[in-house]
């Protein structure tokens, strides 16, 4: 499927991704995903190795792990460390982390890189209270300076491409997704996935795509319109 400017559009569980522009080929860093990639979104307690094996068999071109707590990783918690398990047949595969402390996220990013994924994804979109109300996931949308600083530190800490998954804002009064996209692009992320709802909306209500057209304009120098949220 293509948008009205001829860019390739792909459906990734209703989340929008802007990835690096390179004619019609979708690239994240040096990773060439071809013209029409099918992406598996990160899903806690769902996108584990057996589920990913099924998705790979059925044509997934890029898959993400479920999110992993940075605090769990730096403390060597078995449950978190186990989620780093990835297998060569899954490639390309991304590992996603979340957390609210810049130093812990930087340390966790280095641990993730050791596990050998093709991409490191940062979760700035989780709306559940136990994550967002502690300032992680979508909670960081209330402190965009910290979000940018955290991302910059992570990009510096690893050699693999860093991607971000986020939402429009905390609520309808705090939507600064244009600024977020521009600033995260400036500190070196290679792609952004945008769930076109606010944290307040959780998983319900209308996704507002009107923001996405604007973001495409901001991001068009570096990013390509790749997938969309319904
Ligand atoms: C059970 C479940 C677990 C999820 N876990 C994560 C996660 O770990 N990380 C993440 O970025 N998004 C997570 N999400 C959000 C999805 O990746 C996706 O962006 C969201 O569900 C929107 O797509 P949908 O409307 O098709 O559900 C989860 C969603 C579901 C339903």
The two structure tokens encoding residue 24: 């019609």
The residue ranges of every structural domain in the chain are: 16-227
Q: What is the pLDDT of residue 16?
A: 54
Pocket of ligand 1 (CB under 6 A): 13-15, 41-44, 46, 66-67, 96, 123, 125-126, 165, 195, 203
- Tell me the mean pLDDT in the region 101-121: 98
- Tell me the mean pLDDT in the region 26-38: 88
Q: Are strands 16-20 and 62-69 parallel, antiparallel or unpaired?
A: unpaired
Alpha helices in 75-198 (DSSP H): 78-82, 102-115, 129-132, 144-157, 177-186
* Residue 211 pLDDT exceeds 80: yes
What CATH topology corresponds to 16-227? TIM Barrel (3.20.20)
Between 12 and 183, name the one with better pLDDT: 183
Measured by CA distance, the residue closest to atom 30 of ligand 1 is 43
Instruction: Tell me how far the alpha carbon of residue 104 is from its chain's centroid.
Output: 18
Please give the distance, rounded to the nearest whole angstrom, from the Cα atom of residue 91 to the centre of ligand 1. 21
Residue-wise DSSP of 44-100: TTTSSHHHHHHHHHTT-SEEEEEEEEHHHHHTT-HHHHHTT---GGG-SEEEEEE-S
Q: What is the pLDDT of residue 21?
A: 53
- What pLDDT digit, counting tens, does each position of 193-203 carry? 999 999 999 99
pTM: 0.89
55 carries an active-site annotation:
no
Distances (CA, A) of 37 to 7, 9, 92, 153, 209: 13, 9, 11, 29, 21
Please give the distance, rounded to the nearest whole angstrom, from the Cα atom of residue 173 to the centre of ligand 1. 23
Q: What is the pLDDT of residue 227?
A: 45
């Amino acid at each position: 499927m293509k948008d009205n400017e001829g860019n390739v559009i792909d459906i990734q569980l209703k989340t929008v991704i802007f990835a690096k522009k390179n004619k019609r080929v979708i690239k994240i860093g040096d990773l060439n995903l071809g013209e029409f990639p099918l992406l598996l979104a990160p899903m806690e307690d769902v996108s584990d190795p057996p589920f990913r094996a099924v998705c790979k068999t059925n044509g997934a071109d890029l898959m993400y792990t479920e999110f992993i707590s940075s605090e769990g990783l730096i403390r060597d918690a078995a449950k978190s460390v186990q989620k780093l398990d990835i297998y060569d047949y899954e490639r390309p595969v991304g590992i996603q982390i979340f957390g609210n402390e810049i130093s812990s996220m930087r340390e966790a990013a280095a641990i993730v890189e050791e596990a050998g994924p093709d991409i490191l994804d940062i979760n700035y979109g989780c709306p559940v209270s136990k994550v967002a109300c502690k300032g992680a996931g979508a909670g960081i949308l209330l402190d965009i300076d910290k979000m940018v600083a955290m991302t910059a530190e992570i990009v510096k800490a690893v050699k693999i491409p860093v991607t971000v998954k986020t939402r429009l804002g905390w609520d309808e009064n705090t939507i600064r997704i244009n600024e977020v996209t521009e600033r995260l692009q400036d500190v070196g992320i290679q792609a952004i996935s945008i769930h076109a709802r606010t944290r307040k909306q959780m998983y319900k209500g209308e996704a507002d795509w009107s923001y996405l057209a604007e973001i495409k304009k901001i991001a068009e120098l570096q990013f390509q319109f790749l997938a969309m949220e319904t």
